Amino acid sequence: MAFDAGMLAAVVHEANGCLRGCKIEKIHGPSRDEVVISFRPSYEGEGGRLLISAGANSPRMQMTDAEISNPAQPPVFIQLLRKQLAGARLLEIKQQGFERAAELVFEARDELEYKTIRYLVCEIMGKYSNIILLDGNRKILAAIKTVDITTSQKRQIIPGMIYENPPAQDKSDPLCESREDFIEKFAQNTAAPDKFILYGYMGVSPLVAREIACGCEGDGEKLWESFSRFTEVVKTNDFKPVLVRDEEGKPCEYCFMPVAQYGSSRVTEECASFAELLDKYFAERGRLDRTKQRAHDLLKMIQNTESRLARKIEALRGDISACSEKEKYKRFGDLITSNMHAIKKGAAVVSLVDYYDEDMPAVTVTLDPRLSPSQNSQRYYKKYNKLKTGETELAKQLDIAENELSYIRSVADEFSRAESESDIAEIKRELYEAGYGKQMRNYAPAKAKETKPLEFRTSGGYRVLCGKNNIQNDRLTHKIASKGDFWFHIKNAHGSHVIMLCDGLAEPDAADFTEAATIAAYYSEKREGKNVEVDYTLVRNLKKPPAAKPGFVIYHTNYSAVVTPDADKVRSLQYIK
């Protein structure tokens, strides 16, 4: 669902209840299109964090409880916000009519410590979304996206200009519509009821338009009644944060009122707040978007390396297949040697009896007429030895290439699960130390910082640690874990090393093993699968081969568990300090 005016109204209502009267504590910029403002509690509001995103993929404004990492160097826009809004008090958040735009009104201090007003305008309009800082006279001080005349002829967003509201749409305001006008417009309409709502009234998303039209069957009176219920929800702030999940349990829609249009084909759940609703919906999508934006070059390098190794392996297998001719050349050499007395010097072709075959058929052997029979036999032996040596070396090269491809695919799996700047930095360092520095342009490894693995608690109280990359996997398995701890890993696939710390403790219950196996399955490339197999064994049974890539171990004694990765279950087990 698009973040429409109704959803914005619901978020503004929730945010005002939490943040009105609170002072700014911190301002962060997780990415170039996002702003996160932390507010201290006050006697008027409980405080919290407000996330504003102007990204084209997921523009929105919301309260958030999610952990969001921040870059080491904040964007210029964030630095300016910190300067202009340090310690400012939020007076109110107000929506611009029923538009997808809202403004935060702050009481701040200027350079001379006099009180002044500052506005932070949030325009949630798809790829045209923006975050704009205004002074007390509504003059633009800065914008997260500058819009000059070359970008838009209608409306420019340039520092120094007076801010103008977004151009009005050629649509009616649903909150001001009367029954008579609605019925008259619908009678003249030829489109489907949901299209009539979508294209005739501002601030309505396709999901809400379909929900209003659901069950009305083209009846104008029924459609008006449904439309009235929608407007009453907005006017009275009777919002309900509803999340819609698909057949696989993944969030697929969100809304500020109940959703009945999908019937039994979708599962809906009402969340405790719009912060929880939007955190759940955007958690996975937002993480992937941020990861791709921050590490596009790294992802491209991983993909190119994977493609190159796949082509190399295919070529090596073709060369090894060609070496299968070697035995034929050895046989020709043997036949020439055993029949040397019958071969005339200068012969180009000779027919010899193949004594290696029970039927002893005649075999035609090509000779070099310039060479003697003895030299011809040596020529075939040389071909045999060359192919034999080549086959051995090619097999070694194939093994190296296959191991390298497996390693790169494990890094690609790490990348797909990276959630923060520190995760990306560790993957870059890992690749640099593994010998891929020449392919990483302008990369200089910073001083290594030891990051912590993910931590969980099973229902039996056992600590479970999960590596987020191969460096962490190595550290977990070979330095942190004791010999009596249990090690878990997805079977025959790439994934995290998971350690259940139980050395010296009582034997864990079956439920603890199942939960640890579920964590290992979820943090693997088979996280979308069902009934996947997870190997587990004592750490004492693991061995790391000499010169092996990070994260690689071998074992010969293990148990197996079949589990289905469950995101909600894994999140419920995660331990947050």
**pLDDT single digits (tens) 139-176:** 999 999 998 888 777 888 999 999 998 888 889 999 99
CA distance 117 to 346: 105
For residue 288, is pLDDT > 60? no
Are 67 and 214 found together in one domain?
no
Look over the chain and give the mean of its residue pLDDT values, rounded to a whole number: 87
For residue 488, is pLDDT > 90? yes
Residue finishing a domain among 430, 451, 472: 451
Residue finishing a domain among 143, 158, 191: 143
For Cα atoms 563, 568, 569, give the angle at the middle one, nearest 5 degrees: 45
Q: Is residue 161 part of a domain?
A: no
pLDDT for residue 292:
58
Q: Is residue 158 part of a domain?
A: no
Are 302 and 323 found together in one domain?
yes
Residue 248 pLDDT level (bands cut at 50, 70, 90): low
Are 125 and 234 found together in one domain?
no
Q: Is residue 163 part of a domain?
A: no
Are 355 and 493 found together in one domain?
no
Domain count, the chain: 4
pLDDT for residue 43:
86
Are 286 and 320 found together in one domain?
no
Are 441 and 306 found together in one domain?
yes
For residue 465, is pLDDT > 70? yes
Q: Any idea what the CATH number is for the domain that residue 13 is in?
A: 2.30.310.10
Percent of the chain with pLDDT over 90: 46
- Tens digit of pLDDT for each residue in 331-347? 888 888 888 877 888 88
Average the pLDDT over 305-315 and give the result. Answer: 90
Q: Is residue 151 part of a domain?
A: no
Can you name the residues that pair with 133 across neighbouring β-strands? 120, 142
Which pairing describes strands 140-143 and 251-255: parallel, antiparallel, or unpaired? Answer: unpaired
Q: Is residue 188 part of a domain?
A: yes
Are 363 and 241 found together in one domain?
no
- In terms of residue numbers, what domain contains 314? 296-451
Residue 294 pLDDT level (bands cut at 50, 70, 90): low
Sorted by sequence, the CB contacts under 8 Å of residue 6 that are 6+ apart come out as 203, 204, 205, 208, 230, 233, 234, 256, 257
For residue 1, is pLDDT > 80? no
Are 93 and 222 found together in one domain?
no
Worst-scoring range by mean pLDDT, 55-69, 347-361, 488-502? 347-361
Are 464 and 399 found together in one domain?
no
CA distance 80 to 140: 12
Are 375 and 333 found together in one domain?
yes
Residue finishing a domain among 264, 291, 318: 291
Q: Which of 112, 199, 247 is closest to 530 using CA atoms?
A: 247
Q: Which of 139, 120, 95 is closest to 27 using CA atoms?
A: 120
Average the pLDDT over 65-89 and give the result. Answer: 87
Sorted by sequence, the CB contacts under 8 Å of residue 485 that are 6+ apart come out as 499, 500, 501, 502, 503, 538, 539
Q: Which of 518, 301, 493, 249 is closest to 415 using CA atoms?
A: 301
Are 363 and 420 found together in one domain?
yes
Taking the CA atoms of residue 214, residue 217, residue 223 and residue 225 in that order, the dihedral angle to the nearest 10 degrees is: -80
